[in-house]
Amino acid sequence: MFRFFENLVNPYVDYPEDDTPPRRLWPFMRAYCGPFMGVFALTGFMSIVVAAIEIGLIYYMGRIVDLLSAGPGQMWAEHGTELILIAAFVLLVRPLAQGLDVALLNNTILPNFGTLIRWRAHRQVLRQSVGWFENDFAGRIANRIMQTPPAAGEVVFQAFDAISYALAYMIGAAILLMTSDWRLMLPLLGWFFLYGMLVRWTVIRVGPASKAASDARSLVTGRVVDAYTNIHSVKMFAHHDLEVDFAKEAIETARDTFQKEMRIFTIMDMTLVGLNGLLIVGVVGWALALWTWGEASVGVVAAAAALTLRLNSMTGWVMWALSSFFRQLGVVAEGMETIAQPITLTDRANARPLVLEKGEIELKGLTHHYGRAQGGLEQIDLSVKPGERIGLVGRSGAGKSTLVKLLLRFYDAEDGQILIDGQDISAVTQDSLRRAIGMVQQDSSLLHRSVRENILYGRPDAGDAAMIAAAKQAQAHDFILELSDPEGRTGYDARVGERGVKLSGGQRQRITLARVILKDAPILVLDEATSALDSEVEAAIQETLYGMMAGKTVIAIAHRLSTIAQLDRILVLDQGHIVEDGSHDALLANGGLYADFWERQSGGFLALDADAKG
């Protein structure tokens, strides 16, 4: 039975991805509700049925009180069949209706709706550009992805479990009192009006207060995760107290916003108690007055009393449900600020996969300043022949990393073109472009997975033999066999820790090299590929690097000039311009900036000014 309800909706059903998702709350929610519309309709109907049954039971309890006046013999003789049918209804039909309503909510909607939102939100965020991630806290992004689905699920749950049920119940209560005596509706309608005013007052304040509290919680998460992610820096600079104070500021803001939110609920509760007192005195008192005047039966008084007591106990629950509904909407609205941001770096509508035959790279008037007036690249013209190996040298901020990021299309160039085998990279699909480029970065962070999974990330369909061959070529196989983790996994199955922190810098770099070797892309980019290696390991891997370069078009960034001295050409960048271009020997003979760098380097390192972002 459970499987039937759990499988009514597939949360992973295909859907059209939207580069500009709705930025307003209700269209945003509606975009995720599509697969559930039929289930929502049935659940809403069942909420009404369940409320109608409960109202009917209260009505029938009043009828039983009136039947008792006839005496037991006459009551059973005239109404015995009716009572048996009602008993069967309560024992059989009522549980079935309640069960269907609960199963739709608990087994169909709640598990699947949150899963659908989390799955689609994660897919949407992963489509964002590298630059988008660089402008936010990873912790805050993750927090919003994690807290939005359960909040949205709670919104839907309260809509059907409380709000639709309560509306149906209150309308049914009004109808019941009207059929007994229309005058009983008067105090109920007066209470409805005052209750509606209280709901309106609460809702207006709860939404913004909840969003502020949710924003504050995300800020706490962002700061805490930032400290944990950079724990080495925290410990190295002995800034424990600084980080505690930095987090405390955000925690105090979260406490303050939560206190303001809770004040609203306290006022709501106190006011509701007074309103419910008016309801009980008004409806039951009026029923007693009608009975005193002989215009209402004892059963009517009993039904009115039961109904008002039920409303009294239910109104607090309904108010909390409404408050939760709008409070969770505030959480969804906060999460929407991240999830619904438009995808700005997209494939063109007619984008085709990159067809790479030779590996020729051409830059024409390439300009990019990250939206600033300075830094980056300015009018770069460059042609890299197929199979040519070039090195990039320059001070920090000269534009080396910018050139590589533009080549990988992590950003769209502000002006100019990058062509690969004559194809503008902005006109091909991003995935096909990046599959054609293998890159070893200076920051050799790894995924918090096994060594095997990290190396196979380069080519997931490769077998163990190819993976091990790549590890051996990267001088990594021997130390991998000696690895173990706290869970007892060893060798290639050992986990490396978040961003590979359980390994040394050299070990991480060699696993990164193995991953790129396994990928075997025709274009190779090396960004300080040996920066984390000691001299002995670097010497052993130099041969590996040159082996990787065979037959590939290579762009290598290096501060350690010995790693690029044997390349075909070396380009010197300065303030966004190519100022020198030639072989190592030719540039030394020229006596320019490169020759100056070569003379100033110590132990193979280039002494550069670190005054800007490259």
> Which pLDDT tens digit goes with each residue over 147-164?
899 989 888 988 888 778
Please report where in the chains the tokens 């039947």 appear, as a residue: 67
Domain 19-339 and domain 360-436+555-614 have a common topology: no
Distance CA 608, CA 418 (A): 28
Rounded to an integer, the average pLDDT of 431-457 is 88
**Dist. CA 452–CA 495, nearest whole Å:** 9
298-300-303 Cα angle (round to 5):
110
- Please give the Cα distance from 595 to 587 (Å, whole number): 6
Q: How far apart are CA 406 and CA 417, in angstroms?
A: 10
536: pLDDT strictly greater than 70: no
Q: What angle, rounded to 10 degrees, do the helices at 298-339 and 110-126 form?
A: 20
pLDDT tens profile 464-495: 999 999 999 888 999 999 998 888 899 999 98
Q: Is 600 exposed, middle or buried (0-12, 13-18, 19+ CB in 10 A)?
A: exposed
Fold that domain 360-436+555-614 belongs to in CATH? Rossmann fold (3.40.50)
Kind of pairing between the strands at 437-440 and 361-368: unpaired
Could you read off the pLDDT of 61-78 as tens digits, one per residue? 877 877 777 677 777 787
Cβ-based neighbours of 440, under 8 Å, separated by 6 or more: 509, 512, 513, 516, 525, 526, 527, 529
Q: Is the Cβ–Cβ distance between 304 and 183 less than 8 Å? A: no
Nearest of 51, 55, 14 to residue 34 by alpha carbon = 14
Residue 613: predicted pLDDT = 41
CA pseudo-torsion sign 429, 431, 437, 441: positive
The residue with tokens 């549980």 is 95
Lowest mean pLDDT among 79-93, 135-149, 383-397: 135-149
Residue among 126, 125, 157 nearest 40 (CA): 157
Quote the pLDDT of residue 569.
Answer: 94
Taking residues 25-49, report their average pLDDT: 91
Domain residue spans of the chain? 19-339, 360-436+555-614
pLDDT in tens, 223-242: 888 888 788 788 878 888 88
Predicted confidence band of residue 498 (pLDDT cuts 50, 70, 90): low
pLDDT at residue number 611? 40
224 CB contacts (<8 Å, ≥6 apart)?
139, 247
pLDDT of 541 above 80: no
Average pLDDT over all residues of the chain? 85
Instruction: Please write the tens of the pLDDT for every residue from 563-583.
Output: 788 899 999 999 889 999 999
Judging by DSSP bridges, how do beta strands 569-574 and 389-394 pair with one another?
parallel
Q: How far apart are CA 285 and CA 272, in angstroms?
A: 19
Residue 304 C-alpha from the chain's centroid:
49
What architecture is the 19-339 domain classified under in CATH? Up-down Bundle (1.20)
**Lowest-confidence pick of 26-40, 436-450, 499-513, 528-542:** 528-542
Q: Of 365-379, 384-398, 474-488, which range is least confident?
A: 365-379
Q: Tell me which DSSP letter residue 385 carries.
A: -
The string of DSSP letters for 511-546 reads HHHHHHHHH--SEEEEESTTTTS-HHHHHHHHHHHH
Answer yes or no: are the C-beta atoms of 548 and 578 closer than 8 Å.
no
Task: Return the higher-pLDDT residue of 481 and 175.
Answer: 481
Question: Could you tell me which of 458, 482, 481, 479 has the C-alpha nearest to residue 470?
Answer: 458
C-alpha distance from residue 389 to each of 2, 196, 530, 539, 566 (Å): 62, 74, 17, 19, 9
Confidence of residue 424 (pLDDT cuts 50, 70, 90): very high
What the block records as the tokens of 368 is: 């990019």
Position 548 scores a pLDDT of 82
For residues 310 and 26, the model is more confident at 26
Residues above pLDDT 70, as percent of the chain = 94
| Residue 61 contacts residue 310 (beta carbons within 8 Å) | no
Rg (CA), the chain: 35
> Which range among 11-20, 294-303, 318-327 has the greatest average pLDDT?
11-20
